[in-house]
Structure 1
Amino acid sequence: MKVEQIYTGCLAEAAYYIESNGEAAVIDPLRDTKAYVERAKKEGVDIKYVFETHFHADFVSGHIDLSNATGATIVFGPTAKPAYTAYVAKDGEEFQLGNVKIKAIHTPGHTMESTCFLLIDENGKETAIFTGDTLFIGDVGRPDLAQHVISDLTEEKLAGHLYDSLRTKIIPLANDIIVYPGHGAGSACGKKMSKETTDTLGNQKLFNYALNLNLTKEQFIKEILTGLVPPPAYFPQNVLMNIQGYESLEDVMQRGSQALTPAAFEAAANETEALILDVREAQTFAKGFIPNAINIGLDGQFASWVGTLIPDLKQPILLVTEAGKEEETITRLARVGYDKCVGYLQGGMAAWQAAGLELDSVTSISAQTFSDLFTENPSLTVFDVRKKSEYDAEHMVGVENLPLDFLNDHMAQIPSDKTCYIHCAGGYRSMIAISILKARGFDNLVDVAGGFAALKNAGKLPLTEYVCPSTLL
């Protein structure tokens, strides 16, 4: 028997590959399924099942394409109603995989169809549980996502179901069972996940607040709902894609992989009203980019920021990338449902410049230069675009917090007649914010390179600290 966790840092998502005696199963695959197919082919095994722990909100699962490619049966837990061929398991139903068994354990709460899958080895011993978004390391799945798709499922109702699921289905299991969750730290599906991506259930019973047996249901509901921020706007749209089905990734890749000359790129932008998405590194972008382009760099949490800041999954997109990064970019967009990429700039920005076409740029100054300016003039207009929790923990005195997550809703707070200095934690998010603002007509913007980390090292700046309550961590 083999169990492999396939972790994707950009989405903080874990898929799983299980193999036994010539048969394999994949749990919660990403949309780009080639790696799973090639792995099974290399091992000389057949993928028999694709298990889905629930209808995912933060990414488009690869279950349909993987099933089409291999003939594997898609398996959901009780109450799931997919709009395509799949098997809906009964609570407690077991599936034979080679010499092992996988048992469906219905655990409603994160969503109503949420189901964990318990691995029973060749000797009949329960050895591991794949918990999806029901149980994370140090946390549990937020119970407010399904209500954005099914309105009468209130977050309080779902939290109550989760409390019951944990106490009747998870906690009674043996302490030595290994927990394999669907996500790690950085995912928006929980609020305080550990950086660790696996643990024993016994250890989680000791240290995971949600498994504290002293919590009443009322206390659990209050604790689990406190400190939740609104989910990214693309979450409900991804849920619907996972329920209703989607276009094959092969078709998406073929359409997006159209190499366009600068003239053709410019014409396509005008004809399709496509959003120009520049995925180069922030400081490279700052030195020269196509006017109105949005910068979201591949070197950060690219997919989740695209999903947060581009509200329409059907928005046509034109890409500007570093050479050789085109396919990766289209794939990572498709993972979160952005299937309407219509091409990329052949030759990148070098070709654009060689064609003599218009360029824009961003003024970016060092943390030391900003420190000197702020010391001389503390009334400078400065925006910190980090998350509220980061800002609350420590920030510059007199600086306003404008989290990037909600920038689209709060542009009225930004004066157009003053020079505004923008910083984040390290420079990634500030450049995203500035590119969006410039595309909306704001011109007097200055990036503070290196962000808050560099500002602290520069010294002299007045800082304030605030210890967040545990429920907000």
Structure 2
Amino acid sequence: MTIKQLKDSPLAHFSYAIVSNGEMALVDPSRNPMEYYRYAEEQNAKIVAVFETHPHADFVSSHLQIHEEAGAIIYASEKVGADYPHKTFDDGDTLEMGDIIFSAINTPGHSPDSITIVAKEDDKTALFTGDTLFIGNVGRPDLREKAGNMKAKRVDLAKQMYHTIQNKFTDLPDDALVYPAHGAGSLCGKNMSDASSSTLGNERQGNWAFKEQTEDEFVEEILKDQPFIPHYFGFNVDINKTGPENVQRTKWANKLRLRVEEVKKGVTIVDTRDEESFKKAHLPNSINIMARSEKDKYETWLGAIIQPEEEFYLVIDSVDNLEEMLERTAKIGYEKQVKAVITLGSKLNGKTEQLDLEYFKNNKENYTIVDIRNDSEVADGKIFEGAVAVPLHELRENSTEIPSHKPVIVHCAGGYRSAAGSSILDMKFENTKVYDLSEAIKDFK
């Protein structure tokens, strides 16, 4: 049994290719299937199966495209109620592929339809746990109240997770390898380890969820301090349940426009350039969601700021970045919302005022300070007393809470989010100067 783990860094997503005797199975594949096709060619293997551990909220899967292009059978829990061609895979179901026997364990908790895929070959056992068991933690149970048409209450799912952890892995050996669908940085859980895999024995010893505790204690711990839920999560659950479209067709259906200096009024503009370029010149009413490298969580903040099905222009700094930005936008199923991908001309009316940092340091009372960190970050302590706290993902909807009679200065924790936050408020406050504290926030911590 050969297992290859593939990582999508911006979404902290892990997917898997498992090979045996010229056949390959995939677990929780990313939106673009080409990397799996390339690996299949390297291994001289035929892709015969795609396992979906649950309908994902934070990315769009390529399961249906792989079924259509490679002829692979999709396996998912009956509880999904999937609309795409598939075979159900639940407790007691098995699949033989080469020398591997795959089996399913229903492991509800993160979602009511979650399964763990068990792969056994001789004395080797591997567990593909999806969003149920992470390294050092377990999946959050509060997404299905707001994510997708299938509603489930967070307390009920938290209780199901308790019983899953207590009972569903009991008969599996300590040396079973644990391969989750996400690592540290994902919004599908909290406090995850930086490690990309583990053993069941290590998790039994070090993961808080396996500790002896009552159901009430478990529920209280799992529900507290969970991250925010981006707008797009429910949208992705529904896409994954229905069956996503072919990503090559949808992303390349977009129009490209060069040297643009004016766009249709009333349509949102997402400018992915670095903040320095954006501040020098941009189209009016643009939101600066930077995508300078994989370290920038462009996908997450695009889906947190822009609503599902909301039309927007996508600004790139060069045609060299066209394919990458369409790819990153398509990961969360937003590529069909792009009105056009555009590069910018030289005559642009938008400009961001430069902050006089020394004056601000000595005259903070002359500004309205807006803290756009998440609620959990603010709960640990404000950086500026008297700051108005509105999380970035709520800023477009809740900006009326912010006084605008003084110049506004926006800050986050490290400088990335404040570029987007300040550009949002600059759109909202026509007669108020808005400044981005950016990385200078480090001077105040």
Letter in 1 for 2:298: F
In structure 2, the partner of 1:363 is 353
The SS at the match of 1:26 is strand
Cα contact 1:171–1:211 (8 A) shared by 2: no
CA offsets per residue over residues 277-335 of structure 1, 9 Å max, x none? 11111222111111111111113111111111111x22222221122111111111111
- Secondary structure of the residue aligned to 2:253 is helix
- Mean alpha-carbon deviation: is it higher for 171-180 or for 388-397? 388-397
Question: Is the Cα contact below 8 Å between 1:78 and 1:106 reproduced in 2?
Answer: no
* 2:11 aligned counterpart, secondary structure: coil
What's 2:88 paired with?
A: 88
Distance of aligned partners of 1:451 and 1:193 in 2 relative to their CA distance in 1, 3 Å threshold: farther
Aligned AA for 1:319?
A: L
CA distance in 1, matches of 2:27, 2:139: 17
Q: Who is 1:295 aligned against?
A: 288
Other structure's SS at 2:125 match: strand
Does residue 452 of the first structure (1) align with residue 441 of the second (2)?
A: yes
TM-score, normalised to structure 1, is 0.87
Q: Which of 423, 435, 453 is 2:411 aligned to?
A: 423
How far apart are 1:360 and its partner, in Å?
0.9
**Equivalent in the alignment of 2:253:** 255
Question: Which secondary structure does the structure 1 equivalent of 2:117 belong to?
Answer: strand
Match of 1:34 in 2: 34
1:159-194 alpha-carbon deviations (Å, 9 max, x no partner): 111111111112442111111111111111112212
TM-score (norm 2): 0.93
Deviations 1:242-293 (A, max 9, x none): 111233212212222x221345x735x34xx532211111222111111111
Matches within 5 A, 1:326-345: 326-338=322-334, 339-345=336-342
Give the whole-Å Cα distance in 2 for the aligned partners of 1:106 and 1:114. 6
| CA distance in structure 2 between the partners assigned to 1:76 and 1:445 by the alignment | 49
Q: Percent identity?
A: 33
For 2:182 and 2:413, the matched residues in 1 are separated by 23
What is the distance in 2 between the residues matched to 1:396 and 1:230? Answer: 20
Map residues 176-191 of structure 1 onto 2, 5 A cutoff: 176-191=175-190
Q: Distance in 2 between matches of 1:315 and 1:409?
A: 14
Q: Amino acid of the residue matched to residue 170 of structure 1?
A: F
CA drift at 1:85: 0.5
User: Runs ≥4 in structure 1, deviation > 6 angstroms?
Assistant: none
Measured at CA, do residues 150 and 340 of structure 1 come closer, stay the same or move farther in structure 2, by a change above 3 Å?
closer
**Most deviating of 2-11 and 397-406:** 397-406
1:322 to 317, 324, 328: 317
**Which structure 1 residue ranges, 5 or more long, are not aligned?**
457-473
Instruction: Count the aligned residue pairs.
Output: 437
Q: Taking structure 1 as reference, are residues 24 and 208 closer, same or farther at Cα in structure 2, changes over 3 Å only?
A: same
Separation of aligned partners in 2, 1:75 and 1:151: 19
**Secondary structure of the equivalent of 2:156?**
helix
1:384 Cα deviation from its structure 2 partner: 2.1
CA shift at 1:154, angstroms? 1.6
Secondary structure (helix, strand or coil) at the match of 2:326 reads helix
Q: 1:374 touches 1:380 (CA, 8 Å); kept in 2?
A: no
> Do the aligned partners of residues 128 and 375 (structure 1) sit closer, same or farther apart at CA in structure 2, a change above 3 Å counting?
same
Looking at structure 2, the residues matched to 249 and 417 of structure 1 have their Cα atoms a distance apart, in angstroms, of: 47
Show the 5 A alignment for 1:257-296: 258-262=255-259, 266=262, 269-270=264-265, 273-296=266-289
Listed as ranges, the gaps of 5+ residues in structure 2 are none
* 8 Å Cα contact 2:63-2:243 kept in structure 1: no
Give the letter for the 2:245 counterpart.
E
Aligned to 1:61: 61
Q: Residue 337 of structure 1 aligns to which amino acid in structure 2?
A: G
TM superposition shift of 1:341: 1.8
Letter in 2 for 1:201: L
1:438 shift after superposition: 1.9
The CA RMSD over aligned residues, in Å, is 2.0
